Amino acid sequence: VPVLLFVAAPYIRRYVAGGRCKSTARLEGKVVIITGANTGIGKETARDLAQRGKVIIACRDIAKAEAAASEIQAETGNQQVIVKKLDLADTKSIREFAEKFLAEEKELHILINNAGVMLCPYSKTADGFEMHLGVNHLGHFLLTFLLLERLKQCAPARIVNVSSLAHHGGRIRFHDLHGEKCYNRGLAYCHSKLANVLFTRELARRLQGKFQRQAELNALHPGSVYSELVRHSFVMTWLWKIFSFFLKTPCEGAQTSIYCAVAEELDSVTGQYFSDCQPAYVSPRGRDDETAKKLWSVSCELLGIQWD
């Protein structure tokens, strides 16, 4: 058995790695924002895109973000890897980030909503939202709203929402969105990832015909990645270490994010869901247009915005 495993190991790793983005598209003169790009797949996405154009790393932890930016700058030779403060658990921070960005940068071509939390003990954001819903969905919902006009002005543009296969286990519990009646941190993560898929679907529908030039908006599952995302769970951290051989590396996990951001064949593809750089199956709840419309309305109400 050990010999068989040794022989099979390269093939197992190749299978686990999944699809790779083969696009060599350049991004000269273009600006990319990646949230949560100081670690994991966000950092690897930034590393790749920094070889193509200007990248803005939007993170809560400035020290980690500066370290990641310096590493990427040294590796790629691109000094246009810029750090900006963004805390998705605080709508004030999101608004401040957007205001400063719009004042300092005249263009935005790609927005990658990558940052996320997973398996958090019950807690709330600065605005009283359950943490998974607040960061993974509402934070990115507001950020996209605030930056959308700049994306429109710079179209063709792309918005990439990092969701998860976990959306299959989610449901939008409108009667208890913030988990005050019943909370399970695993399910809370699933619910927020379903919200990502529904947001992608509804925004794509609303944007049809609204851009003078093309704009694509897609969601994705990065795969099971060996990263810090499971840090809130001792059990998951332990399991991740044991089974790391069967998990994607952050670089492998970033491939579908990169693909959705730059692949030429997606120039007219929008409102879809990808995994391993190819279309993937969306759960029935993720295809429910009525739930998507209601979630949109409730999200606007919670954030105090009008987005028609």
d(CA 111, CA 17): 25
User: Which residue, among 127, 264, 289, has the nearest Cα to 200 in the 3D structure?
Assistant: 289
The total of other beta-carbon atoms located within 10 Å of residue 194's CB is 27
Pairing of strands 53-59, 81-85: parallel
Check pLDDT > 90 for residue 296: yes
pLDDT reported for residue 215: 78
d(CA 192, CA 52): 31
pLDDT bucket at 249, cuts 50 / 70 / 90: confident
pLDDT reported for residue 53: 97
Helices 140-153 and 289-303: crossing angle, nearest 10°?
A: 100
Q: For residue 189, indicate whether it is catalytic.
A: yes
Tell me the β-bridge partners of 218. Answer: 160
pTM of the model: 0.92
CATH class of 1-303: alpha beta
Q: 189, 226, 259, 273: which is the annotated catalytic residue?
A: 189
pLDDT bucket at 149, cuts 50 / 70 / 90: very high
Per-residue model confidence as pLDDT tens digits over 178-189? 999 999 999 999
pLDDT reported for residue 1: 44
Which of 7-11, 153-157, 189-193, 242-246 holds the top average pLDDT?
A: 189-193
Pairwise pLDDT comparison (254 vs 210), residue with the higher score: 254
Extract the runs of DSSP E, i.e. beta strands, from the chain: 27-35, 53-59, 81-85, 110-113, 157-162, 215-221, 273-275, 278-279
The total of other beta-carbon atoms located within 10 Å of residue 225's CB is 20
Amino acid residing at 38 = N
Assess whether the previous peptide bond of 2 is cis (omega < 30° from 0).
no
Domain residue spans in the chain?
1-303
Check pLDDT > 60 for residue 20: yes
